[in-house]
């Protein structure tokens, strides 16, 4: 799955390929392992804060993916 970086310095607006989908949908995980998708070479994986990610359309991630108290 590809998401867009929204607040990450010079990589702002870049697409990242999520490598750990379980962490992405886990509301108790604050980071997700992904790699920046740019250029021709495969980039090394990094951990990104979920707060820095959105869908490529610009839509925010679902609250149930980022907030463990989403039912409150």
Residue 71 placed within a domain: no
Task: List Cβ neighbours of 34 (8 Å cut-off, separation of 6 or more).
Answer: 3, 16, 17, 18, 19, 20, 45, 46, 47, 48, 53
Residue 8: which pLDDT band, with cuts at 50, 70 and 90?
low
Domain extent at residue 20: 2-66
Whole-model pTM: value is 0.82
Residue 12: the pLDDT is 77
End-to-end CA distance of the chain: 28
As a whole number of angstroms, the distance between CA 65 and CA 53 comes to 11
Total domains present in the chain: 1
Tens-place pLDDT, residues 13-72: 889 999 999 999 999 999 999 999 877 888 899 999 999 999 999 999 999 999 988 887
């Amino acid at each position: 799955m590809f998401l867009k970086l929204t607040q990450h310095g010079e990589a702002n607006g870049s697409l990242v390929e999520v490598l750990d989908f379980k962490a992405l949908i886990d509301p108790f995980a604050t980071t997700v392992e992904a790699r920046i998708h740019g250029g021709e070479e495969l980039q090394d994986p990094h951990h990104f804060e979920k707060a820095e990610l959105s869908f490529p359309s610009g839509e925010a991630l679902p609250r149930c993916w980022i907030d463990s108290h989403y039912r409150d």
